[in-house]
Amino acid sequence: MQITVNVNGADYSRDVEARLLLIHFLRDDLGLTGSHWGCDTSNCGACVVWLDDTPVKSCTVLAAMADGRKVRTVEDLAMKGAGEAGGGRLDPIQQGFAECHGLQCGFCTPGMMMTARWLLDRIPDPSPEEIREALSGQICRCTGYENIVRSVLWASKHTGGSVASAEADE
């Protein structure tokens, strides 16, 4: 079947099987390997991307279900955050993970960051409890949760204007 999905601002039309999962569409058909394919059972959250305006676990969504919708992946964080004139500046969430050692092996990081971005868009100044709750559907098998929470807190204190300005453009 023919689907057209807007991924990170660009339309992609592909002929796919109805059973193709969104995570495989992104990674294998579009080559966007930033989103990770983890547990395959919607438990770990490594595959989290935005579908329209909310994070979803893309191992449990068919690519066909994204037809005519917008998808946002981790590849879009810096682009969106920096813009053409931003010199490739990272989103504050990405900066936070770098500053606070928010990743060890990095496998869970793309999903963590996409959900964290969504949280800060809704709640710009979250408490550590709110961060833990928002990320509770995502697993870090390095068990680096303390630093992940610190990273998101760091991002909430260093908005840097990049994201706000990018979203004002939309």
Q: Residues in the site for another protein, rule: CB under 8 A?
A: 1, 17-21, 24, 40-43, 45, 48, 51, 54-57, 60-62, 64-65, 67-68, 115, 133-134, 136-138
Nearer to another protein, 32 or 116 (CB): 116
- Say if residues 78 and 91 touch (Cβ distance below 8 Å): yes
**Closest separation between CB of residue 60 and another protein, Å?**
5
**Closest separation between CB of residue 9 and another protein, Å?**
21
**Closest separation between CB of residue 42 and another protein, Å?**
6
Q: Report in angstroms the alpha-carbon separations of 31 from 7, 85, 91, 129.
A: 12, 25, 22, 35
Give the SS3 label for residue 90.
coil
Nearer to another protein, 56 or 163 (CB): 56
**Closest separation between CB of residue 59 and another protein, Å?**
8
Nearer to another protein, 42 or 165 (CB): 42
Nearer to another protein, 29 or 40 (CB): 40
Q: Which candidate, 138, 132, 130, places its Cα nearest to that of 114?
A: 138
Distance CA 135, CA 139 (A): 8
Distance CA 32, CA 137 (A): 23
